[in-house]
Structure 1
Amino acid sequence: MAVGRVTATTVLAVVVFAPTALAAPPPTPPAPPPPASSDGRILDALLGARADDVPGTQYREFTTTAAAGRVRGHLIRVDLANRTVAIRLLRPAVVSAVGTVPDLAARAGAIGGVNGNFFDQGGTGASVGVELENGALVKSAVPLGRRPAPPGPPGSSPDTVLGIGTDGVGRIGRVLFSGTVRLAGREVPLAGLNLYAVPVGGVAAFTPAWGGATRARTVCGSDTDAKAPCARDAVEVRVKAGKAVAVGPVGTTAVPAGEVALVARDAAAAGMRALRPGDPVDARWTALAPDTPPLRTALGALALVRDGAPWPGLQTSERAPRTAVGLSADGRTLFLIAVDGRQEASVGATLAELGRLVTDLGIPQAVALDGGGSTQMVRRPAGGRLGVVNVPSSSPLRAVADGLAVVPAGRDFPAGAGTS
């Protein structure tokens, strides 16, 4: 994993391609639900593969049964051993920007894709969890109490990610953040990178990859309450080439190229405010993946299925559209899954039902991503146009923070933002 230093900042850039026209799926008439299977399975039918799949991918639709009615879903199977396709993080040019899945996928030249993790909707737009691309950390995860997502099932890690290793194999593991700021002869812990919620009493680093959104909002709220007042004491120190270049209020514009902004709040602010331009400051961070070999790509997620069974304790109270990503046991086949919901033709699923559905599809390990109005799946058939294949419940389409895309192998992608 790349280790951050304030002495060499890399600015994230995205090559933008003209979006292709989107083909909307035809409406599907409602149908009565078939009876549930006597063995407890909820999968009803998995339709045959299409003849127009891009090599290395396979798109199929399925129907399921649930207590509340018929459920319709969509599945893209990706052969990770096929070297003509690859999985990449799908996201806007900066952390604090959002975009719809079809727009982001069109710009990336994607073959298929789904939305990603929960995010700071209505605020900065930044994602809740980890984003790692090309082996470099783009952002770390916000405090647990500031995540607008259902908690993971008991026993699961809040640092769970869906990752693709440098060997091209998919894995479900963890990515942990570790960082420090050395200044005035002492060392201060660094709480995270490009966070929309700086922990109370903590210091977080922001790079140009954060974008132009104000960082003043990141010191508002507490670690458990987004509506709590903003910090009474907060300061920002901008650092370049190992030295402080500015000390003052938390910034409201983009971090200049080649610099890192250190934002401190509450008890941590006093020590940072004592710095003066020219004082030495050394900020370093790293992303640790303790459960897996080195990862090239990683996206924060909720644990859903392990060892061929749903995690015990998954949420059962809300039925909604859902997005999930699954892996074969050897990690060489990846499955993008979208379940329609909140409509007459498809009522959606609880997280527990989603877990059971994934196992009925024969997928032994999986994670859940953001659902509801965020659930979007796109596909580009061979020789065809990129189109939305599910029926999103949000109209117009919701702009999201990130996602996963299937892309042609060898396509250039920008290095993850950070310092190295």
Structure 2
Amino acid sequence: MSRRTLVVGLAMATTITGLTVPGAAAEQATVKFPSSNFPLGARSAPTKTMTSVTSGIDLYDVKAGSSTDGYTVTVLLPNGRDAGTREAAETTLAAVEAAGEVAGIQRLERPQVADAPAQELFMVRVGLWSFKQRAKADKAAAKLKKAGLKVKVDYLGDDGLKTTGPWHVKVLTVDARTFRGSYAASLGTSVAKRETVSSMAKRGGAVAAVNGGFFNIHTAKQLRGEPVGASVVAGRLLSEAVPGRSAIVLRGRTARITELTTTITAVSQDGAKHPIAGVNRAAAADELVLYTEEYGAKTPAVDGTDVVIDANGRVEAVRTPGAAVPKGKRVLHGGGEAAMWLNEHLWEGWTVKVDTKVRDLRKNRNLQLTPDLHVVSGGVGLVRNGRTAITARRDGHDSVNMILRRHPRTLVGTTRNGSLIVATIDGRKPGITVGANFVEAAQFMRWLGATQAINLDGGGSTAMVVKGKVVNQPSDGGERAVGDALLVLPR
């Protein structure tokens, strides 16, 4: 084999848009597990067992596919990534050859999605070993590292290219016709802190639960429970929307998927107005941020101003930042220009209205923030009106790692009659379960009958809890503390 040809046995990805799944369950009028073959890999008949959880709720344990993937060594490109331009791959290939090793350049294509074109990329890889030869792959990687190259051992099932699996999936179906409970969101003990799904499910009295959306890992460690996107719990907006990002709106026993924006404005009694940039998160320079008692942390200890307001909007105190939010109160915090506005327009004893609007972009109207309203923000839209519609760029996940590579996934969908489908696809377990990429996740949810579907947080966060027990196999080896959860309540 030429040193500049593709590594033998490594298949290429294909572009998939608007995919029609043969025999798709999207035509079903009710939530019913499909009788057609598993939609991924060789499309073989899956093995499944069903457990009735309670009236209207069933849990399926599904297995499909077989393990045929092996290992290779990927040499990182000059930018530190495993895939990039052909020029970068050629440069890296030359470095491998200079070290006396034989490598190949592999072309791959990140699939086209609804809001981003396909992208041609190239990787440099050394060797190909069977599943049982992992030790040989590790030895080759160690030799390359000793030569000064940055490398990693890759299991080919994680690539997102052609695979036979296997897959291990949990599917929870909630039938709108017979379910008599309700849905809710939970942020655990506070917005700032993370908590396991099982803990939130126990506290909320949930019969079933899954992890919610992504949480902010790019903020201070003590604040990393903060959801990245809209969060509403019992009618209270606890985290602002990322404009236009997918979310699931829960009210009573109804669930619908849409996109949201939020607009929050402080209106002083003298008529002055100022936009509130965020809710329960770290504040940037000149931002006005609202903190509620659910925050669970102190306001930023920076130069600026805190204004404490009671439930009626009366200003109780103007204070130095860096203290907790008093129980039953809210705090408007501002630095720079926002602090100047607070000092000029919110005097002690004055009143202020916090005008909060959460807009449903599909219905083009505001949601009523009543106590039965809950919102869990998603990460990426997958299915819209029965067709694959992956909104990776809009939802902030336009990358090879997120679109093409396989990871554990937590997925939520609704059927034509309003039933709910929740699924966890376990991954990162070579030989046991490979996970899914976004295209495969969309295919899978359509196969289950979802006409609308979104991706929630995944990876080590993926967890499904039923009757107090974690029923899937989290890739970290145990439950990870997460930002929020979607709860299925018995009443």
The verdict on a shared fold, with TM-score over 0.5 as the criterion, is yes
Structure label with greater radius of gyration: 2
* Matching of residues 140-289 of structure 1 within 5 Å: 140-141=239-240, 157-158=244-245, 160-165=246-251, 168-183=253-268, 185-192=270-277, 194-198=279-283, 200-211=285-296, 213-216=297-300, 233-240=303-310, 241-253=312-324, 255-274=325-344, 275-289=346-360
Maintained 8 Å contact 1:180/1:187:
no
**Which of 226, 230, 234 is the equivalent residue of 1:126?**
226
Encode CA deviations 1:97-129: one digit per residue, 9 max, x unaligned.
321111211222222111001112434112112
C-alpha displacement of 1:92: 1.0
Q: Of 183, 191, 200, which residue of structure 2 is paired with 1:104?
A: 200
Alpha-carbon distance, 1:139 to partner:
1.4
The alpha carbon displacement at 1:96 in A equals 2.0
Q: 1:259/1:195 Cα in 2 relative to 1: closer, same or farther (>3 Å)?
A: closer
Residue number in structure 1 paired with 2:236: 137
Specify the SS of the correspondent of 1:271. Answer: helix
Could you tell me how far 1:209 is from its partner in structure 2? 1.8
Separation in structure 2 between the aligned mates of residue 234 and residue 44 of structure 1, nearest angstrom: 62
Following superposition, the deviation at residue 193 of structure 1 comes to 5.5
Match of 1:14 in 2: none
Task: Evaluate the alpha carbon distance shift between residue 352 and residue 184 of structure 1 in structure 2; reply closer, same or farther with a 3 A threshold.
Answer: same
Give the letter for the 2:376 counterpart.
L
Where structure 1 has 5 or more consecutive residues not aligned to the other structure, the ranges are 1-37, 145-156, 218-231, 381-385, 410-420
1:44–1:366 distance in 2 versus 1, CA, 3 Å: farther
Counterpart position of 1:309: 387
- How many percent of aligned residue pairs carry the same amino acid? 26
- What amino acid sits opposite 2:63 in the alignment? T
Counterparts of 1:367 and 1:358, CA distance in 2: 9
Q: Alignment partner for residue 482 of structure 2, among 377, 393, 400?
A: 400
Provide the rounded CA distance (Å) in 2 between the counterparts of 1:352 and 1:234. 47
- Evaluate the alpha carbon distance shift between residue 258 and residue 106 of structure 1 in structure 2; reply closer, same or farther with a 3 A threshold: closer
Counterpart Cα distance in 1 of 2:480 and 2:260:
27
Name the SS of the counterpart of 1:330 in structure 2.
Answer: coil
TM-score (norm. length: structure 2): 0.62
CA distance in 1, matches of 2:389, 2:362: 18
Query: TM-score, normalising length from structure 1?
Result: 0.72
Post-superposition shift, 1:398?
A: 0.9
Give the helix-richer structure, 1 or 2.
2
Q: CA deviation at 1:373?
A: 0.7
* Structure with larger RCO (C-alpha < 8 A, sep 6+): 1
* 1:15 corresponds to: none
